[in-house]
Amino acid sequence: MPTRVDPKICIGCGVCVAICPNSYSLVPGEDGLIVSKESETQPDTETLLKETIEDCPVGAISQISEQTHGTA
């Protein structure tokens, strides 16, 4: 399940990293922003990814369609 973190909304609280460390990471030097990362190994479950969308305190995480994922 591909997701996107909106950098204009993200406050870098780290809730998503705590829930899905294989899918999100804190970017050093980028004002504490979180980014989605491609994970070929040990992907987080869809249930946990949905939890990050629901638990993000500012609503910065959204699910993206499979068709949109990987296109520019």
**pLDDT for residue 72 is more than 50:** no
Q: What is the pTM of this model?
A: 0.76
Boundaries of every domain in the chain = 3-63
Contact 3, 36 (CB under 8 A): yes
Q: What is the pLDDT of residues 11-40, one digit of tens each?
A: 989 999 999 988 898 887 656 677 777 655
**38-50, pLDDT tens digit by residue?**
655 456 788 999 9
Highest CATH level, class, for 3-63: alpha beta
CA dihedral defined by 67, 24, 61, 33, rounded to 10 degrees? Answer: -120
DSSP states of 44-65: PPHHHHHHHHHH-TT--EEE--
